[in-house]
Structure 1
Amino acid sequence: MGNNPEALSSYEKALEIQQQSLPPGHPNLAASYNNIGTVYDNMGIYTKARTFYEHAIQIGQQSLPTNHPNLQQWGNNLELTLTTLNLSYNGIGDERAKYLSAALQNNTTLTTLNLNGNGIGAEGARHLGDALQNNTGLTTLNLDRNTIGAEGAQHLGEALRNNTTLTTLTLRLNKIGAEGAQHLSDALRINTTLTTLDLECNRIEAQGARHLGDALRINTTLITLNLNGNEIGAEGARHLGDALQNNTTLTTLSLYNSKIGNEGAQHLGDALRNNTGLTTLNLNWNGIGADGARHLGDALRNNTTLITLNLNGNGVGAEGAQHLGDALRNNTALTTLNLELNSIGAEGAQHLADALRINT
């Protein structure tokens, strides 16, 4: 241990003085945080070391040029111990993403990286994609709200063709569109490690759903797919439903607010008659109505794997509740049914209550 406790005390006192005399973003504060982190690192207290290294880098990114040697050194220190790094809403941009990506090329300890809301754009996605081609440690990457567009999705898709460690990729609100969905879908035909893909609110529409559906016919590793708010419509639901006829790996599909209507519910219901893998289906706020509930109810009579079905805000009414109730008389798998804000009234509640007398 040497003089670590003494050095720690000295550095902490220096930091306390600086905090009283310097502005919050001063680079000297970053240096002190790094010094304290180094001491904790030497003492084997890695969790605290990571915390101080993170403070140093966050301040340094705001107060120093991207190529400043201190910033690079602090980054190297962080690489030695850090497993999770959250840099959400730090204004990193594409240029600083380049340096971060360079560090990822050889890093083997970082497993989770969150860059939500940093405006890295397509160029930043390219740098990260290049890093993912070689990185063997990162398992979770969050790039929500970065406006990477279709081009950025292409760079990430190319990386997924070769990457063998990433299991979770979150790309909410990135405007990748149908073209971006196609690039990612092409990668899913080859990739064998990604288990969770979140594309919420990306304007992929029916065409994008078609690309993803085609990929699901081949992919055997993806477990969770979130397509909430993509306006895929009934046509998009048909493409996904057709894929689910054969796919046995996907367990969770979320289509919240996707405008699938009763026709889309029919396509998914048809899929559920044969699908043996899906356990959770989220269809909240899709306007499926009583007819959509009927299609899903008919499917539930035979389906033996779906455990959770979310139908909030779909206007199924008492008639829809009756169809679902009738299904529950025979279904032995479903354990959670969400029907919030469906105006089922007393009559609908009666239908469900009657089913509960039998459902076990």
Structure 2
Amino acid sequence: MNSIVNVKFSCGLLNSSDKLKFISGMNQLTSLDISDNQIGVEGSKYISGMKQLTSLDIYYNEIGVEGAKYISEMKQLTSLDIGNNQIGVEGSKYISEMNQLTSLNIYSNQIGVEGSKYISEMKQLTSLNIGHNQIGVEGAKYISEMKQLTSLDIGHNQIL
């Protein structure tokens, strides 16, 4: 198993801290999908120690603001899906400090206008999903300033 670099453990497969510890010890991984596992803050702490990862899908894991802070310390990531994790404005601020990201899915995190302003400052992003975040027209204006984007999902944001 030492040659595996891309693993998907989604939909409830990681239901114990022992399993998370095992995965966090897989030092050869560069891409990890642990979506829909409810790993919470403790799990995000384990995962944040995986300094070799360049791609992480942590969608729907109830990590909240504290978990977002742990994930934001992963300075080697270039692709992050942190959708549906209740990170809010404060969590979006932590994520916006990840200057190496080129792809970000921050879908459904209640980041609002203030959070969209933080995200709009990520000038290295080329792909962004900021859908379902209550950013409204004002937030959409911030996002529209991201001229480098080649892919954008901004749906379900009360823009019209």
- Under a length normalisation based on structure 1, what TM-score does the superposition of the two structures give? 0.42
Superposed, which structure 2 residues align to 1:74-153 within 5 Å?
132=1
State the shift of 1:235 in Å: 0.9
SS of the aligned residue for 1:262 comes to helix
**In structure 2, what is the Cα distance between the partners aligned to 1:206 and 1:292?**
20
RMSD: 1.8
**In structure 2, what is the Cα distance between the partners aligned to 1:315 and 1:233?**
17
The structure having more radius of gyration, on CA atoms, is 1
1:260 aligns to what? Answer: 87
The answer to whether the 8 Å contact 1:173/1:201 transfers is yes
SS of the aligned residue for 2:128 comes to strand
More helix by share: 1
1:213 aligns to what? Answer: 48
Unaligned runs of 5+ in 1: 1-131, 133-162, 346-360
SS of the aligned residue for 2:134 comes to coil
2:130 aligns to what? Answer: 311
1:184 aligns with 2:15: no
1:293 aligns to what? Answer: 116
- Under a length normalisation based on structure 2, what TM-score does the superposition of the two structures give? 0.89
Amino acid at match of 1:223: T
- Which of the numbers 220, 240, 255 marks the counterpart of 2:71? 240
Count of aligned positions: 159
Could you report, residue by residue, the CA deviation over 1:214-264 in whole angstroms, capped at 9, with x for unpaired residues?
Answer: 222xx2xx33211111011111111111222xx2xx322111211111111
**In structure 2, what is the Cα distance between the partners aligned to 1:319 and 1:177?**
40
Higher RCO (Cα < 8 Å, 6 or more apart): 2
**In structure 2, what is the Cα distance between the partners aligned to 1:338 and 1:321?**
11
- Which of the numbers 9, 16, 32 marks the counterpart of 1:197? 32
**In structure 2, what is the Cα distance between the partners aligned to 1:178 and 1:334?**
38
Amino acid at match of 2:107: N
Amino acid at match of 1:311: I
The percentage of counterpart residues that share the same residue type is 31
The answer to whether the 8 Å contact 1:213/1:242 transfers is yes
**In structure 1, what is the Cα distance between the partners aligned to 2:42 and 2:140?**
32
Amino acid at match of 1:238: K
More strand by share: 2
The answer to whether the 8 Å contact 1:178/1:205 transfers is no
Could you report, residue by residue, the CA deviation over 1:319-339 in whole angstroms, capped at 9, with x for unpaired residues?
Answer: 2112223x33xx4x3211210
1:168 aligns to what? Answer: 6
